[in-house]
Amino acid sequence: MNLIQKANQTYLKHFNKETYFERALFFSWYCGLGDCTFCYMSINQTKQDPKKAKRTFSSILAETLISKELNWKIEFISGGYQSYTKKELLFLIKAIHSITKEKQWLNIGTLNKKELTMFKPFTKGYAGTIETVNWELRKKVCPSKTLQPILKTFQHCDELKLKKAITIILGLGETIKDFQNLKQFIKQHKISKVTFYTLNPHPGTPFKNPPTKKYASKWIAKTRIEFPKLHIIAGAWIDKTDYYSALLKAGANNITKMPSIRKFNSKELKNIESEVKKAGRIFKSKLTKLPDINWDKKILSLNPKIFPNELKKEITIKLNKYLKQMKKHN
Ligand code: SF4
């Protein structure tokens, strides 16, 4: 039995065949660091104003509603949190919780104990953007995003009994030998969820070649075999939809990363559905067919204590814009 077969068998021993698309819900595109060498932020040097580089509540909540109705899980809430006041953030997290009926993962920079305590009623855990476990390489590719504040946030999570997740980007210059570091890190910090992204090289950055699906699958398979019950998410950009059957066979639970609203029902997303099938999984999320939903009724039924009428009206406008976009590939 080869590595992938062993990983697939391990997966099937612990999980059913259902697979979901998980969408990262972006709050803002502000970043206070801006110098990770693989990130498009590192080439866009214009100083952002955190208060302006953010989405409206209605846009975020319309997207949440679509995600809920199309069976997309929220991978995490993401973005630089300096864009919102703590009160605004708390409101957003509470509103998302009210729509999804699920506690959320936060990927909004490092957080102190007071902040985590405030968000805790609506929060499952915190995701640390580790990016690479080759620690020497990490100093070069994430010069300002140091490890210590992330580890400190993990410590607060332990004290507050919140879960911990990490994100890893494959293709930054690490090799499979670095897997030992990942294994140790997951064990030491009791990580319960890992997202593996395959690098999407941005023009203008020093990166040219994305990792192969074979290489990415090897990381996932080794992780699955070592940690049979870990929640693993795999993400490859829209030009690599052919990676997904391999990543799922290697033991990923769910998939992420696609621009599912902009590309809804496109040939790429249709291909994702066949890839999931090819991996022997049952795809529970909708990426190609809009269900027949009375959206006005859905919005009207939102809790009035959280969603005042004015906000409901704004959500309706945004939602209709998104739905129009989603019908573009019909
Ligand atoms: S922290 Fe790094 S990876 Fe994240 S947005 Fe900023 S520059 Fe990009």
133: left (phi over 0), alpha (psi -120 to 50) or beta: alpha
pLDDT tens across 96-150, in order? 999 999 999 999 989 999 999 999 999 999 999 999 999 999 999 999 999 999 9
Supply the DSSP symbol for 172. S
Q: What pLDDT is recorded for position 46?
A: 60
- C-alpha 237/C-alpha 235 separation (Å) is 7
Closest CA to 196 of 229, 171, 227, 225: 171
**pLDDT average, residue stretch 301-330:** 96
- Confidence at 30, pLDDT banded by 50, 70, 90: confident
pLDDT tens across 168-185, in order? 999 999 999 999 999 999
Supply the DSSP symbol for 80. -
Which of 129, 145, 202, 207 for mutating ligand 1's site (highest number of atoms within 8 Å of CB)? 145
Question: How many Å lie between the centroid of ligand 1 and the Cα of residue 145?
Answer: 8
The distance from CA 311 to its chain's CA centroid, rounded to whole angstroms, is: 26
Q: Looking at the predicted structure, is the pLDDT value of residue 33 above 70? A: yes
Mean pLDDT for all residues in the chain:
95
Q: What pLDDT is recorded for position 81?
A: 65
- Confidence at 262, pLDDT banded by 50, 70, 90: very high
CATH no. of 3-326: 3.20.20.70
- Confidence at 45, pLDDT banded by 50, 70, 90: low
In total, the chain counts a number of residues equal to 330
Q: Which tokens in the block code for residue 126?
A: 């915190």
131 in Cβ contact with 170 (< 8 Å):
no
- C-alpha 64/C-alpha 48 separation (Å) is 25
188 in Cβ contact with 166 (< 8 Å):
no
Q: What pLDDT is recorded for position 41?
A: 81
Question: How many Å lie between the centroid of ligand 1 and the Cα of residue 39?
Answer: 6
pLDDT tens across 70-100, in order? 999 999 999 876 788 889 999 999 999 999 9
60 in Cβ contact with 92 (< 8 Å):
yes
Question: How many Å lie between the centroid of ligand 1 and the Cα of residue 255?
Answer: 21
Which residue would you say has higher pLDDT here, 50 or 283? 283
**pLDDT average, residue stretch 289-312:** 97
- Confidence at 47, pLDDT banded by 50, 70, 90: low
**pLDDT average, residue stretch 239-244:** 97
How far lies 289's CA from each of 93, 222, 244, 283, 293, in Å? 28, 35, 20, 13, 12
271 in Cβ contact with 242 (< 8 Å):
yes
Q: Looking at the predicted structure, is the pLDDT value of residue 52 above 80? A: no
Nearest atom in ligand 1 to 35's CA: 7
- C-alpha 99/C-alpha 26 separation (Å) is 16
pLDDT tens across 181-213, in order? 999 999 999 999 999 999 999 999 999 999 999
- Confidence at 51, pLDDT banded by 50, 70, 90: confident
In the chain, where the domains are located: 3-326
Helix residue spans in 112-227 (DSSP H)? 113-119, 135-141, 147-160, 179-189, 213-226
Closest CA to 169 of 146, 200, 139: 200
**pLDDT average, residue stretch 302-311:** 98
Q: What pLDDT is recorded for position 28?
A: 86
Q: Whose CA is nearest to atom 7 of ligand 1?
A: 34
Question: How many Å lie between the centroid of ligand 1 and the Cα of residue 239?
Answer: 22
**81 DSSP β-pair partners:** none
| pTM beyond cutoff 0.95 | yes
Closest CA to 191 of 130, 237, 248, 135: 130
First to last CA, the chain: 43
Tell me what percent of the residues of the chain surpass a pLDDT of 70: 98
Closest CA to 199 of 233, 248, 236, 150: 236
Quickly list DSSP for 278-291. HTT-EE-S-SS---
Supply the DSSP symbol for 54. B
